[in-house]
Amino acid sequence: MSQTTGRATSSANGQRRLPSLQTLTRELPAAAMTATGNLALRLRELTGRDVIDLESLQDLVSVGYRAVDVSKQHRAGKFDVDDYGYDREYTNTIVPLFRLLYRRYWRVDTTGLEHVPRRGGALLVSNHSGVLPFDGAMIEVAVIDETDRYPRALVASFFGTMPMLSWFLRRTGQTLGHPTDALRLLRDGELVLVFPEGVRGTGKLYSERYRLRRFGRGGFVEMALRAGVPIVPISVVGSEEIYPMLADLQPLARLFGFPYFPITPTYPWLGALGLIPLPTKWRIRFHPPVRTDEYGAGAADDPSLVMRVSDEVRDTIQAGLMADLMERRSIFRG
C-alpha cells in the first residue's frame, strides 16, 4: 500500500509513481515553510540577526492554507453573502495579508480606538491620500483587531467599473458610495467608513500633502443625522508618502478612463516595480465622536447645520494631522 506523502511512491509492480496534484497542493506549503525555516536559522547563525521574519512567513502560510479551504467551499457552492455581496469568510482570508502590511511594513501606531462604538451604527470619516487607497485597508485592520467589528467602506463609482476589483471590493464588504445603501447599513447597525475628499484626496500632488480638500456639501453628515449615529473623525499620517505624486498626466488619465495618472519617483519608470509602495511610518488617530442624536428630526434638511457639522469634522481631522506631523521625526521613522 502506498503512503500519502509528497515523495514519489512505489506501486505494486515496483514502478515509482509521482504524487498527485492534490497531494502536492496540500503538502507544498508545509515543505516550503520547513525549508525556509532552515534557511532562516542558517542565516541567523551566519549574520547574527534575523534576516528572514519567520513569524511573518508563518502568517503567510496560514493565509495560503485558509485560501485553499475557502476556494474549495466556493467551488462547492458553500458560501454566504449578504445583500451587498459581502462574504465574511472570504474577508477573513484576506485580512492577515493587510495585517502584515499594518504591523510589519508600515508599522502603524494607532490611538483613540476606544472612540469606536462596540455596538450599533457609526460613521467613520477620514482624510484620504496615497494614490491607491491603502489607508482604508489600514483603518479597517485597526478596527477589526481592536473591536472585532468589520467596517464597510464606501468606494467611488469609478471602482465599480473595474470587473475584478469591483468583485473583490464587494466580497470584502465595501460598497459604492450611494446614500441609500450607506443609510441602510448605518440603520442596520454597521460601521461605515467614508472619505469625503474622494479621488480628489488620493490624487493630491506631493506638494499639497496633508492639506484637506473640501468635504463637498456634507452628504456624509446628512446620512449620520438621518440614521442618528455618531461621527468618528480619523486622521491618517504616513499614507501621503507611499507614492509621492509629482505630477498628474491628465491626457493619459482621460485616455485610460482614470481619475488621474500619477507620476512618482518610481512610476512609470520602473514599470510594475514602481507600484510597490514606500515603507513609510504611519499614525492613525481616532478622535472623540461627534454626536448627532442631540439634533431634531429635521436636522438633516438644514443646510447650515449640515455644513457646520461637516466643518467641525474636517477641522478635527486637519488638527489631528498637524499634531501628528509635528511629533514625527521623519517619514520613515515616525
What are the residue ranges spanned by the domains of the chain? 105-242+277-327
Quote the pLDDT of residue 274: 92
Quote the pLDDT of residue 83: 84
Q: Which residues in the chain show pLDDT less than 50? A: 1-7, 10
Quote the pLDDT of residue 1: 45
Quote the pLDDT of residue 29: 60
Residue 312 corresponds to which amino acid?
A: E
pLDDT digits (tens, 9 = 90+) for 194-213: 999 988 899 999 999 999 99
- The cell for 166 is 469591483
- Please give the C-alpha separations between residue 163 and each of 59, 158, 160, 260, 306, in angstroms, as whole numbers: 29, 11, 7, 19, 35
Task: Report the predicted TM-score, pTM, of the whole model to 2 decimal places.
Answer: 0.83
- Vertex 329 angle, CA 328 and 334, to 5°: 55
Quote the pLDDT of residue 5: 45
Bridge partner residues of 284 (DSSP): 110, 236
CA count, 13 A, side-chain hemisphere, 142? 27
Quote the pLDDT of residue 283: 97
Quote the pLDDT of residue 289: 97
Quote the pLDDT of residue 133: 87
Quote the pLDDT of residue 159: 73
Quote the pLDDT of residue 27: 65
Quote the pLDDT of residue 18: 57
